[in-house]
Structure 1
Amino acid sequence: MPPGFTAKVGRLETFTLPERVSGSVSDKAIADAMIGAWRRDGILQIGMTKSQQRVYQAASATSRRFFAQPHARKEACVDGSSYSGYIASGEEITDGVADYSEIFTVTKDLPHTDKRVAQGWPCHGPCPWLDQEMKAVMNKYMEDLAVSGEKLLQLIEMGLDIPTGSLTKYTADGWHHMRVLRFPQNNRTNGKGKKGRGIGSHTDYGLLVIAAQDSVGGLFVRPPRDTERFSNWEKSSAGLRENEAGWVYVPPVTGTFTVFPGDMMQYMTNNFLQSTPHKVGLNVRERFAFAYFHEPNFRSVIRPLPGYNAGQSPLEGIHYGTHFTNMFLRNYPDRITTARLQEEGRYRLLESKELRDDDEPL
């Protein structure tokens, strides 16, 4: 556990995903157990297949190669249209305080000739890769996790007893994205942030987070509590109870991913599955991690799931693209992408019919 932190050490339930979700009795048993684990612990583990371990190891090596580059080379990996690319330590803000994480963000990689980019859709643009090798390795990692993400959503549909497709209908051309992360060791920081804090407490934006960490621990989560209610789409959950008791340390387990729900899952289930607050502490060695986000289509208007509609706010649903954009504007107030988005008045495009899919869910 990172020094300076006091927390219960978690013992997470670990699951093996089926090769294919067929709706069998065993699938239903896994689905029910996963829902129970999320409602109890806020997080669970899924085992990597041998193939996934190889893909993860290649991505991990590529991450280390990228972060070992001279600062000037990393700093050049920025695009003014998208939020993809390099984020220096101290650039990301959580609850008004700089984080020490060093990040390469991957969002949907779209050329400037793409219609959406040419029309100025917020957050749409190229991913400024270091080189083609990095692009190939990271894309393979994300494509592999996209398959796992769809399986997880199919199992959640079974576990929630909702019609098939109630969740997966939203993820056609999903706005899946990823954060490739490096955390400095606790005595080698640049002094811009809070001592010992890698990333401040927060919840994530969409449906599911599938994360992987190396052998250096740092992740903490806050399990669901009936007495702790929050709605990140209405009021920021950044900094939520960051310094209070009740956090659980997630020790690294080789060959596993950790999985937890995001904001959209919480809204759709009316808090039955809560978006899991989490934070990262700096350890005595540098730490590397990945956070993959399995998301709705950017245009999706998210609505409560069948059987989970209790008139939760907002009644008109949540436009995922607007929620995503708002979170990045908040986290990166000084980024060139934020400045351009505001200067060019592109934010109001989010209200246009072309950027909104208002079909009612199943």
Structure 2
Amino acid sequence: MNQAIDHSAVPIIDIQGLRSIDLADRMAVAMKLRKACEYSGFFYITNHGIAPELISQILDETISFFDQSEAKKMEVSKSNSKCHRGYEPLRAQTLEAGTPPDLKESFYLGIDLPDDHPSVRAGKFNHGPNQWPTGLPGFQKTTTEYFNALYELGSVMMRGLALSLNLPENHFENFLDGAAANLRLLHYPPQPAISQPDEKGCGAHTDFGALTFLLQDDAGGLQVQPANTREWIDAPPIENTYVVNIGDLIERWTNGQYKSTLHRVINRSGRERHSVPFFFTGNYDTLVECIPTCLEDGEEPQHKAITVEQHLMDCYKRTYG
């Protein structure tokens, strides 16, 4: 069952107060984040600070990249990379077990580290250089500028989450120091009129990391399933907002108090759909174990302690086989 957006489940939160010098302003936003994270783990944010011009540019570069020929895109194939960077063709990933591969193609970017960087030489998972397509003169500049802007926003939001959990604002500073993140450009062709059973643009899944910031075009297709409803709710694009959701790391940290929620994409618009999710993952050496304030007396953690790196490796193995 699907229903139109329910703003009690996917609220709109003005986060401008998180940048205020007044703690009361930051706490006011944090309490709204807490309610959203406990209820569904999904929310829209406004006054996020990302320039509209940059948002327009990143969508233009996304469209330009996927409009290239398959041969041109394959010049920067992810198969050339040791750190999952580059182009991934249609049906390369299966996010929902037991269903056909996802009807989407993508391009992965991360922090651009040279081969002689200590983390790369140490073999850190997903650490290394980006691949850059040729023939798109503004691509590297725009994606790098956009990545850096979202990276800063991720840090602001993590400090807001700390406040929302009644923790010191700097509680996650070690997690933020040298944090990893990924930018993924996505293209979804229209859903075929006659498709395989259960075929979707993106199968039902939860996100691996800490926070996801999703920029959508106007095609729609995103649906979320809050745990308390078990119904699929449309989360359509709203101008000048991001859809933000909590990932599995935050759910583990909070012992399930904050929800990492199932979501999927079915592009029924009849036209091409483009989106740009930014995944804020954190420092790979961070040990994620239940925050003591998220445990009731006599309650046991639901998950064992795990490093961010091991958690990510397990998640990639599950969805790429």
Over 3 Å counting, the alpha-carbon distance change for 1:153 and 1:21 in structure 2 is: farther
In 1, Cα distance between equivalents of 2:317 and 2:125: 11
For residues 64-92 of structure 1, give each alpha carbon's deviation from its aligned partner in whole angstroms, at most 9, with x where no partner exists. Answer: 00001110111121333111111111111
User: Counterpart in 1 of 2:68?
Assistant: 69
CA shift at 1:114, angstroms? 2.1
User: Counterpart in 2 of 1:299?
Assistant: 285
Question: For this pair of structures, how many residues does the alignment match?
Answer: 308
In 1, Cα distance between equivalents of 2:179 and 2:316: 17
In 2, Cα distance between equivalents of 1:118 and 1:50: 35
- For the 8 Å contact 1:83–1:107, the answer to whether it is kept is no
Q: Which runs of 5+ in 2 are unaligned?
A: none
CA shift at 1:50, angstroms? 7.1
Choose which of 261, 271, 291 in structure 1 pairs with 2:256: 271
For residues 107-152 of structure 1, give each alpha carbon's deviation from its aligned partner in whole angstroms, at most 9, with x where no partner exists. Answer: 2322222233234333222211214632221111111111211121
In 2, Cα distance between equivalents of 1:210 and 1:108: 17
- For the 8 Å contact 2:209–2:279, the answer to whether it is kept is yes
Choose which of 92, 98, 101 in structure 1 pairs with 2:101: 98
User: 1:1-362 residue pairs with structure 2 within 5 A?
Assistant: 6-11=2-7, 12-18=10-16, 20-22=19-21, 24-48=23-47, 51-77=50-76, 78=78, 79-94=80-95, 95-96=97-98, 97-131=100-134, 133-187=138-192, 194=197, 197-225=200-228, 246-283=231-268, 284-309=270-295, 310-315=299-304, 317-333=305-321
CA shift at 1:321, angstroms? 0.6
CA shift at 1:257, angstroms? 0.3
Q: Which runs of 5+ in 1 are unaligned?
A: 229-244, 334-362
In 2, Cα distance between equivalents of 1:176 and 1:63: 18
CA shift at 1:174, angstroms? 0.7
- For the 8 Å contact 1:103–1:180, the answer to whether it is kept is yes
- Give 4+ residue runs of structure 1 displaced > 6 Å after superposition: none
CA shift at 1:302, angstroms? 1.2
- For the 8 Å contact 1:10–1:251, the answer to whether it is kept is no
- For the 8 Å contact 1:222–1:246, the answer to whether it is kept is yes
CA shift at 1:220, angstroms? 0.6
Over 3 Å counting, the alpha-carbon distance change for 1:294 and 1:23 in structure 2 is: farther
Q: Does the residue aligned with 2:108 lie in a helix, a strand or coil?
A: strand
Per mean C-alpha deviation after superposition, the further-off stretch among 264-273 and 168-177 is: 168-177
CA shift at 1:209, angstroms? 0.9
- % same residue: 23
- For the 8 Å contact 2:160–2:169, the answer to whether it is kept is no
What letter matches 1:13 in structure 2?
P
CA shift at 1:37, angstroms? 2.2
Q: Does the residue aligned with 1:128 lie in a helix, a strand or coil?
A: coil
In 2, Cα distance between equivalents of 1:55 and 1:257: 14
What letter matches 1:326 in structure 2?
D
Over 3 Å counting, the alpha-carbon distance change for 1:154 and 1:53 in structure 2 is: same
In 2, Cα distance between equivalents of 1:48 and 1:57: 16
CA shift at 1:51, angstroms? 4.9
Q: Does the residue aligned with 2:294 lie in a helix, a strand or coil?
A: coil
What letter matches 1:81 in structure 2?
K
Q: Does the residue aligned with 1:176 lie in a helix, a strand or coil?
A: strand
Per mean C-alpha deviation after superposition, the further-off stretch among 30-39 and 46-55 is: 46-55
CA shift at 1:93, angstroms? 1.5
CA shift at 1:247, angstroms? 1.1
- For the 8 Å contact 1:98–1:194, the answer to whether it is kept is no
Q: Does the residue aligned with 2:19 lie in a helix, a strand or coil?
A: coil
In 1, Cα distance between equivalents of 2:14 and 2:202: 29
CA shift at 1:252, angstroms? 1.2
Over 3 Å counting, the alpha-carbon distance change for 1:116 and 1:26 in structure 2 is: closer
- For the 8 Å contact 2:255–2:302, the answer to whether it is kept is no
Over 3 Å counting, the alpha-carbon distance change for 1:126 and 1:194 in structure 2 is: farther
TM superposition score normalised by structure 2: 0.88
What letter matches 1:256 in structure 2?
T
